[in-house]
């Protein structure tokens, strides 16, 4: 697959600085591995502070002209980029499965979803409206202008190698900002392919830059630069807090999409089929490696046994394997550390009384493959219910009343995705309003879309991505007062 991709021109291994593909200045590289085979796919540039500072300078220079062209022109560039992403959908999806491990069908879905942010941004670019405010004084006129914030640093994780980039870069570019992207070192190839297509779309040099390598060093350079006016980050809560604290020095705008601890609440009055299908979609997508994956499945006592049985029935039919193989719905985990985390959380839970009712061990395929797992009798005090599992493990917790469910669901510092299964309209509203979460799926397990706002309450983050709300993150508001009219 890699050689095939090479001939398509999308397999890039250098960083992109000021429109030029560039090696690390000291020539260092790092390997990218296929988690499904353990084989290395490519050696990519391993960069640091020097390359990052040059990328920032390029973005800063490019901002002068990119912010001045018309919204309609920026819209056209973005539209072209979207068209190219879709025209190369198969190749990008292959690259994604190769470096990330997710089943090809999920990768194809991510290309649609990821490219969708660019399409939406192309459309929304033309609708960045200001305001005219009625003046309290008759000889004055008051206006509000929306202007791009400046150079944006976008730091992204490995679980959605395309979409986490496009949902930041699309709106940034639409608003007139320029960007320095720092993709995950585990999945840089998808990011670089997208960057290559931004060049093919004619987006001017320096508007999109990509650096990767020593993450803390690159992160520090981005945070410390007074030229970077905005940090947008998706990843762990620990790194997000560090970036936010670092940004205080230069008072940058900050958007954070951090860890979740999604409750999936199944009430006695739920449709069992809908609840099982929705829970599986919410839990096992990307082998459980998303920040909105159901982390705690709260099931009301009247339906608990039936639900557990139906869930086990469905989960045991899920095919595990290489994401390129037909019928596979569960790929490997991203690396060994991810498997160890799952093992530790499960060991801890079983030592405290939880029972594994399906799976519960490494898969016979070896490497980082893990058996889809269901574990019952979990309590909200166990580590498995307090931390993000980020693996194919469904922990079941039993509850009695609606009040119990809401209390348990909200008993966490995170507040990103949440799910509710019930056939009562009144309960849907009551629970949706009571959940301290940025996203609520009612009778639906996969709800993310570029047209709706995505983001968290509490320590799950700051700001929103996607939709019209996602545009505001890249804009400054300017008040203009014309006096003595
Ligand atoms: P995950 O658990 O999803 O890998 P991380 O927060 O470690 O979460 O990674 C998300 C992104 O943050 C990746 O691009 C990673 O390289 C980057 N990163 C990791 N450490 C730092 C750091 N100290 N400063 C800036 N970025 C970092």
Contact residues for 466 (Cβ-Cβ < 8 A; gap 6+): 117, 120, 167, 448, 449, 450, 451, 452, 453, 454
Q: How many whole angstroms from 216 Cα to the centroid of ligand 1? A: 8
Residue 61 and residue 68: Cα distance in Å, rounded? Answer: 12
For residues 324 and 319, what is the distance between their CA atoms, to the nearest angstrom?
Answer: 12
Determine whether the shortest distance from the Cβ of 221 to ligand 1 is under 6 A.
no
327-378 pLDDT, tens digit each: 999 999 999 999 999 999 999 999 999 999 999 999 999 999 999 999 999 9
Q: Which residues, at least 6 apart from 427, have a Cβ–Cβ distance to it below 8 Å?
A: 267, 269, 402, 420
Distance between Cα 215 and ligand 1 center (Å): 6
Rounded Cα gap, residues 220 and 237, in angstroms: 17
ipTM of the complex: 0.98
Does the C-beta of 187 come closer than 6 Å to ligand 1?
A: no
Polymer length of the chain: 485
Are 437 and 465 in contact, with CB atoms under 8 Å apart? no
Burial 155-172 (b: 16+ CB within 10 A, else e): bbbbbbbbbbbbbbbbbb
Task: Please choose, from the candidates 261, 277, 294, 273, the residue with its C-alpha nearest in 3D space to the C-alpha of residue 419.
Answer: 294
Q: How many helices (H) and strands (E) are present in the chain, helices listed first?
A: 16, 20
Interval between CA 204 and ligand 1 midpoint (Å): 28
Find out whether the beta carbon of 239 lies less than 6 Å from any atom of ligand 1. yes
Q: Which atom of ligand 1 is nearest to the CA of 159?
A: 3
- Tens-place pLDDT, residues 221-253: 999 999 999 999 999 999 999 999 999 999 999
CA 213 to chain centroid = 20
Q: Is 259 in the pocket of ligand 1 (CB under 6 A)?
A: no
Q: Which helix (H) or strand (E) holds 180?
A: strand 178-182
> Considering only CA atoms, which of 195, 229, 224 is closest in space to residue 473?
229
What pLDDT shows up at residue 198?
98
Cα-Cα end-to-end distance for the chain: 68
Q: Which two tokens stand for residue 455?
A: 């983001």
pLDDT at 8: 76
Helix (H) or strand (E) holding 313: helix 304-315
124 noted as active-site residue: no
The number of the ligand 1 atom at minimal distance from the alpha carbon of 390 is 2
Distance from Cα 214 to the centre of ligand 1, integer Å: 10
Whether 354 contacts 378, CB under 8 Å:
yes
For atom 7 of ligand 1, the residue with the nearest CA is 236
How many C-beta atoms lie closer than 10 Å to residue 277's C-beta? 17
**Cβ contact 425:325 at 8 Å:** no
The packing angle between helices 425-434 and 402-410, to 10°, is: 30
How far does the centroid of ligand 1 lie from the alpha carbon of residue 313, in Å? Answer: 37
Alpha helices in 176-252 (DSSP H): 188-200, 215-224, 237-247
Task: Please write the tens of the pLDDT for every residue from 34-93.
Answer: 999 999 999 999 999 999 999 999 999 999 999 999 999 999 999 999 999 999 999 999
List pLDDT tens digits, range 255-270: 999 999 999 999 999 9
**Which protein residue has the closest C-alpha to ligand 1 atom 25?**
219
Q: Using CA atoms, how far apart are residues 208 and 202, in angstroms rounded to an integer?
A: 11
Which residue lies with its CA nearest to atom 19 of ligand 1? 215
Would the CB of 219 count as within 6 Å of ligand 1?
Answer: yes
Residues forming beta bridges with residue 418, ordered by sequence position: 440
pLDDT of residue 34: 98
| Interatomic CA distance for residues 56 and 206, integer angstroms | 9
Q: What are phi and psi of 397, to 5 degrees?
A: -120, 140
**What letter does residue 249 receive in the DSSP assignment?**
G
Q: Interior CA angle at 136 toward 135 and 139, to 5°?
A: 65
The mean per-residue pLDDT over the stretch 297-301 comes to 98
Q: Rounded CA gap, 85 and 404, in Å?
A: 46
SS3 for 37-83 is CCCEEEEEECECHHHHHHHHHHHHHHHHHHCCCCHHHHHHHHHHHHH
Do 84 and 122 meet the contact criterion of CB atoms below 8 Å apart?
no
Nearest CA among 174, 176, 180, 118 for reference residue 155: 180
Of all residues in the chain, what percent carry a pLDDT higher than 90?
A: 98
Active site residue 177: no
């Amino acid at each position: 697959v890699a050689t095939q991709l090479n001939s398509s021109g999308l397999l890039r291994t250098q960083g992109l600085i000021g429109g030029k593909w560039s090696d690390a200045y000291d020539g260092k590289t790092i390997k990218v591995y296929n988690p499904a085979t353990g084989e290395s796919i490519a050696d990519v540039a391993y960069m640091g502070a020097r390359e990052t500072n040059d990328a920032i300078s390029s973005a800063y220079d490019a901002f002068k002209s990119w912010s001045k062209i018309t919204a309609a022109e920026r819209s056209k560039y973005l539209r072209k980029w979207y068209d190219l992403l879709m025209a190369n959908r198969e190749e990008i999806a292959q690259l994604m499965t190769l470096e990330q491990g997710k089943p090809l069908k999920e990768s194809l879905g991510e290309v649609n979803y990821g490219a969708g942010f660019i399409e939406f941004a192309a459309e929304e670019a033309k609708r960045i409206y200001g305001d005219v405010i009625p003046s309290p004084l008759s000889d004055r006129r008051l206006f509000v202008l929306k202007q791009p914030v400046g150079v944006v640093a976008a730091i992204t994780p490995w679980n959605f190698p395309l979409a986490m980039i496009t949902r930041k870069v699309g709106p940034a570019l639409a608003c007139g900002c320029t960007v320095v992207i720092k993709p995950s070192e585990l999945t840089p190839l998808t990011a670089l392919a997208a960057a290559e297509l931004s060049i093919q779309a004619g987006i001017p040099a320096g508007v999109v830059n990509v650096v990767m390598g020593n993450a803390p060093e690159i992160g520090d350079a981005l945070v410390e630069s007074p030229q970077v006016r905005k940090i947008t980050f998706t990843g762990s809560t620990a790194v997000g807090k560090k970036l936010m604290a670092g940004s205080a020095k230069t008072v940058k705008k900050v958007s954070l999409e951090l860890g979740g601890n999604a409750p999936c609440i199944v009430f006695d009055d739920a449709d069992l089929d809908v609840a099982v299908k929705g829970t599986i979609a919410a839990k096992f997508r990307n082998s459980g490696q998303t920040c909105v994956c159901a982390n705690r499945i709260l099931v009301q006592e009247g339906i608990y046994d039936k639900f557990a049985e139906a869930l086990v029935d469905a989960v045991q039919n899920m095919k595990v394997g290489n994401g390129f193989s037909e019928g596979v719905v569960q790929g490997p985990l991203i690396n060994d550390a991810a498997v160890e985390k799952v093992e530790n959380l499960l060991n801890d839970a079983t030592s405290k009384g939880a029972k594994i009712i399906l799976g519960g061990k490494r898969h016979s395929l070896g490497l980082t493959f893990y058996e889809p797992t269901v574990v019952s009798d979990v309590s909200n005090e166990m580590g498995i219910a307090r931390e993000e599992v980020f693996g194919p493990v469904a922990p079941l917790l039993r509850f009695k009343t609606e009040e119990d469910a809401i209390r348990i669901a909200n008993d966490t510092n995170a507040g990103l995705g949440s799910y509710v299964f019930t056939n009562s309209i009144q309960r849907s509203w009551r629970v949706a309003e009571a959940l301290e979460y940025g996203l609520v799926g009612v009778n639906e397990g996969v709800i993310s879309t570029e047209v709706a706002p995505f983001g968290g309450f509490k320590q799950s983050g700051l700001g929103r991505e996607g939709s019209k709300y996602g545009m505001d993150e890249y804009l400054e508001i300017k008040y203009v007062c014309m006096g003595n009219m």
